[in-house]
């Protein structure tokens, strides 16, 4: 089941200075803290002047599409999915 939305969420982002890797570590959504285990793809797009970083991540059970607006530094959850057909 796949659902799209535009919901503000709390995200914990980790930067590893040794590997140069950046990874969202926790997502707070619907009163639950999800621990991210894998980043599938990280890409960027522009909405007007604002550069948006998109992190496609999973906690092993659920998929989250997280968008970081680099103008406001706010996070939006734009998609969740359990990887099963609708």
Partner 1 sequence: MGIPTNLLGAVGINHNPSAIMHIDLNSCFATIEQQSNPLLRGKRVAVAAYTTPNGCILAPSVEAKTLGIKCGMRVREGKHLCPDLIILPPDPGKYRFVNRKLLQLLRTYCPEVEIKSIDEMNLDFTHIPPLERELHHIAQEIKAAIRREIGEWMTVSIGIAPNRFLAKLAANLHKPDGLDEINAANLRTVLATMGLADLFGIKHRNEARLFRAGIYTPLDMLDASPQRLMAAFESIAGYYWHLRLRGWEIDDVDFGRKSIGHSYALKNQRVGTRELCRLLCKLTEKVGLRMRRLGYTARGVHLSFFYADKGHWNRRVMSPTPLFASKDIYQRVAQLYARAPKAKGLRSLAVSCYALIKEPLLQTSFLEDEQKKRSLTLALDTIAERWGDFAIAPALMMGMEDTILDRIAFGTVKDLDELIWQDETTHEPVFD
Q: What is the dihedral of CA 34, 7, 55, 24, to 10 degrees?
A: -40
- Least distance in Å: CB of 46 to partner 1? 6
- Least distance in Å: CB of 67 to partner 1? 11
Which residues have a Cβ under 8 Å from the Cβ of 45 and sit 6 or more positions away?
52, 54
Name residues contacting partner 1, limited to 56-85 (CB under 8 A): 56, 58, 62-63, 70, 81-85
- Least distance in Å: CB of 69 to partner 1? 12
Decide if residue 51 touches partner 1 (CB under 8 A): yes
Residue 8 CA to residue 28 CA, distance in Å, equals 10
């Amino acid at each position: 089941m796949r659902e799209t939305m535009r919901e503000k969420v709390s995200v914990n982002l980790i930067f590893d200075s040794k590997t140069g890797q950046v990874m969202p570590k926790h997502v707070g959504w619907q009163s639950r803290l999800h621990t991210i285990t894998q980043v599938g793809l990280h890409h960027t797009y522009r909405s007007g002047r604002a550069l948006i970083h998109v992190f496609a991540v999973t906690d092993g059970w659920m998929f989250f599409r997280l968008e970081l607006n680099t103008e406001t530094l706010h996070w939006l959850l734009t998609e969740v999915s359990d990887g099963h057909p609708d």
